[in-house]
Amino acid sequence: MSLIPLKNAITTLIAVLFLQTAFQSVANAGNDPQCRTDIQTLLNKYQKALNTSDTQKVIPLYTNDGVFMPSNKPTSIGQTQVKTAYQHVFKTLDLNVNFHIDEIERHGDIAFVRTTSDGEIKLLEKNTTIKNNSRELFILKRTDSEWKIYRYMFNEVS
């Protein structure tokens, strides 16, 4: 037997095993009850931190290299910039929002979470309260056995 067909057979076998594992990961995404519970817990903590304007509780929910991409504002990269961004948010807004999970897609230690949120936002400078309806995309990363916000983006729904 020649080495070339054997190499091709091994390469094909590795590719098939890789694809099978990838498809199993996608097929099981969000169906793992513990994963779903852990992600819901993270989002509940985030919601509570937002609604109490608590920067010190928001920051540990992000990875060290987390990215915050608010609508119509600059992107904040890393915990120092993310902290500064949330300090600004909480100086200008008082939030009362509720997150609703629409979808969880897990791929190993990365999860994509699509949510909607509703509630009210008080514009502190104007002392005006407005209704809020947004949609969010969280990319979470599992580090040290817990899910954290790796990337977060949202926009308002009109």
What are the pLDDT digits (tens) for 52-81?
999 999 999 999 999 999 999 999 999 999
- pLDDT more than 70, % of the chain: 80
Q: How confident is the model at residue 32 (pLDDT cuts 50, 70, 90)?
A: confident
State the distance between the two ends of the chain, measured CA to CA, in whole angstroms: 67
What is the per-residue pLDDT for 24? 42
pLDDT, residue 158, reads 75
With a CB cutoff of 8 Å and minimum separation 6, the contacts of 26 are: 105, 107
Q: Which residue has the higher pLDDT, 17 or 47?
A: 47
Q: What does 81-119 look like in DSSP terms, one character per residue?
A: HHHHHHHHHHHHEEEEEEEEEEEEEEETTEEEEEEEEEE
Give 68-120 pLDDT, tens digit per residue. 999 999 999 999 999 999 999 999 999 999 999 999 999 999 999 999 999 99
> Is the CATH number 3.40.50.2300 carried by domain 31-156?
no
> Stretch 20-36: mean pLDDT, rounded?
59
Q: What pLDDT is stored for residue 22 in this prediction?
A: 46
Residue 57 φ/ψ, nearest 5 degrees: -90, -20
Output the pLDDT for position 44.
Answer: 97
Digit-coded pLDDT (tens) for 3-24? 565 555 555 545 444 444 444 4
Residue of 24 and 50 predicted with greater confidence = 50
Q: 149: exposed, middle or buried (C-beta count within 10 Å: 0-12, 13-18, 19+)?
A: buried
**Average pLDDT for 35-58:** 97
Per the CB < 8 A criterion, the answer to whether 119 and 95 are in contact is yes
Judged by average pLDDT, the poorest of 26-30, 141-145, 152-156 is: 26-30
Q: Residue 68 has which token pair? A: 């915050």
Query: For the chain, what are the domain ranges?
Result: 1-29, 31-156
